[in-house]
Every structure is written in structure tokens, then in C-alpha cells.
């Protein structure tokens, strides 16, 4: 009733000959050398990519700077600068308000006293008509229509269920 214990097999390393050990050592040295060369190559590629990226960035910055700040035009050098006359800017006077029209009505009466009555009538200008509001946006009309449609659907369903 006792179970047999599983046998553990241990692999015994094969003994290598001195020639095999020398070949293994040479292969390891060669592999290390190749890894170093590949690492240097990758490092050089990364450096090149980084420089190219930096150059592109500098070019883009120069383009933007050139666009935002136009180059100042070189001014011709004058041997004797002439004094510039002062420019006086005269402001145009504001238009004066037009005098209001006065209507004078003279009434003559046939009575003995000759007196003139003058009345001053001021004609007021009609106020300008207010500009009409722009027509409603068609999208707003569609939203309003959809909302009304949804409300009517809801109301009809509500009536069917509750009353």
C-alpha cells in the first residue's frame, strides 16, 4: 500500500574536451564583439535620427518666425538726413446739426387792432424703423419641430396608458 517514490533522474553534464572548450570560448568572444558593434551602430543611428529631428524642428521654427516677423527692408543710407517737415493733421469739423424748420403762421384780423400772432411749430423727424430680425435658423426650426413631435408622441402614449 505504500506508493513507490518517484525516482528523480539527475542529468549528468557531459564533460567537454579541451578543444570544445576552446571553440566555445572563441564563439563567446566573437558574440561579445558582434554585440558591441551592433550596439555602436544602433547608438549612431539614434544620434542621426535625433539630429535630423532637431534640424526639422529648427526649420519649422524658422518658417514660423519668418511668417510672423517679416524681414525689415534694408533702408538706403542717406549721406545727409534731411529734416522732415512737421505734418499737422487737421481734423475735419463735425457736421453741425441742421436747424429745425420753423413754420411761422401769421393771422391777420380785420379788427381795428393790428396785431400779429406768431406761432412756432417744430416738425419732428420720424424715428427710423428698427431693422427686422433675421429669419430663424432652419436648424432651430427642425429642433423645434422634433421637440413638438416627441411631446405629442409622449402625450398620446400617456393618455393611452393612464387615461
- Residue 44 belongs to some domain of the structure: yes
Nearest CA to 117 among 128, 125, 130, 108?
108
Q: Are 123 and 101 in contact (CB under 8 A)?
A: yes
Give residue 64's domain range: 17-70
Q: Are 125 and 110 in contact (CB under 8 A)?
A: no
Statement: residue 113 has pLDDT above 70? no
Statement: residue 84 has pLDDT above 60? yes
- Residue 35 belongs to some domain of the structure: yes
Nearest CA to 116 among 130, 104, 131, 101?
104
- Residue 28 belongs to some domain of the structure: yes
- Residue 55 belongs to some domain of the structure: yes
- Residue 51 belongs to some domain of the structure: yes
Statement: residue 145 has pLDDT above 60? yes
Residue with cell 534640424: 55
Q: Are 100 and 122 in contact (CB under 8 A)?
A: yes
- Residue 92 belongs to some domain of the structure: no
- Identity of the highest mean pLDDT range in 22-26, 67-71, 123-127: 22-26
Residue 18 and residue 12: Cα distance in Å, rounded? 18
pLDDT tens digits along 37-70: 999 999 999 999 999 999 999 999 998 888 887 6
Query: Whole-model pTM?
Result: 0.33
Number of domains in the chain: 1
- Residue 61 belongs to some domain of the structure: yes
- The phi, psi pair for 79, rounded to 5°, reads -65, -40
- Residue 150 belongs to some domain of the structure: no
Secondary structure class of 81 (helix, strand, coil): coil
Amino acid at each position: 500500500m505504500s506508493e513507490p517514490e518517484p525516482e528523480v533522474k539527475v542529468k549528468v553534464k557531459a564533460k567537454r574536451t579541451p578543444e570544445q572548450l576552446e571553440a566555445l570560448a572563441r564563439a563567446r568572444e566573437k558574440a561579445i564583439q558582434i554585440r558591441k558593434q551592433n550596439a555602436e551602430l544602433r547608438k549612431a543611428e539614434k544620434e542621426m535620427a535625433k539630429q535630423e529631428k532637431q534640424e526639422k524642428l529648427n526649420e519649422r521654427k524658422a518658417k514660423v518666425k519668418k511668417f510672423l516677423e517679416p524681414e525689415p527692408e534694408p533702408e538706403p543710407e542717406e549721406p545727409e538726413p534731411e529734416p522732415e517737415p512737421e505734418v499737422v493733421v487737421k481734423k475735419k469739423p463735425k457736421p453741425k446739426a441742421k436747424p429745425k424748420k420753423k413754420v411761422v403762421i401769421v393771422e391777420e384780423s380785420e379788427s381795428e387792432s393790428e396785431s400779429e400772432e406768431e406761432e412756432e411749430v417744430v416738425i419732428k423727424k420720424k424715428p427710423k424703423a428698427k431693422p427686422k430680425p433675421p429669419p430663424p435658423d432652419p436648424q432651430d426650426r427642425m429642433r423645434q419641430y422634433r421637440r413638438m413631435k416627441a411631446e405629442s408622441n409622449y402625450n398620446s402614449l400617456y393618455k393611452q396608458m393612464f387615461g
